[in-house]
Amino acid sequence: MIANRLLMTKTNVESIFRRRRIVRLPGALALGGLITYGFNLAILRPIYLEELNSFGLAEKYFFLDLNADMMRQDLEQMGISIEAKHFDMEKTE
């Protein structure tokens, strides 16, 4: 709505955005999307990353470790027991 209002305001030159709604709608959507993306990058992302660091979860969030033994231990801590074949990691490499 804000982007639509910005595109409707008078400028020095008669704007095509004021005269044609069909042109103003995609412009308003694009401008609104850019403003939202910029807000997320500038304000919300640093807050989110700070929260992840304060809880010590940043390493788990950004680095994927598909270690089956670690997954099995996590599941056992949650009370889920699965039967799976155990393999030697050194032999598989």
Tally the C-alpha atoms within 13 A of residue 14's C-alpha that lie toward its C-beta.
Answer: 2
Question: Domain span at residue 11?
Answer: 2-84
Note whether residue 19 is domain-resident. Answer: yes
Note whether residue 93 is domain-resident. Answer: no
Tokens 């044609």 correspond to what residue?
Answer: 20
Span 16-72, pLDDT tens digits: 556 666 767 787 888 889 999 999 999 999 999 999 899 888 887 777 666 777 777
Note whether residue 89 is domain-resident. Answer: no
Tally the C-alpha atoms within 13 A of residue 50's C-alpha that lie toward its C-beta.
Answer: 5
Note whether residue 91 is domain-resident. Answer: no
Conformational region of residue 86, where left means phi above 0, alpha means psi within -120 to 50, and beta covers everything else:
beta
Note whether residue 78 is domain-resident. Answer: yes
pLDDT at 12: 47
Note whether residue 69 is domain-resident. Answer: yes
The total number of structural domains in the chain stands at 1
pTM above 0.85, yes or no: no
pLDDT at 13: 42
Contact status, residue 33 vs residue 25, Cβ threshold 8 Å: no
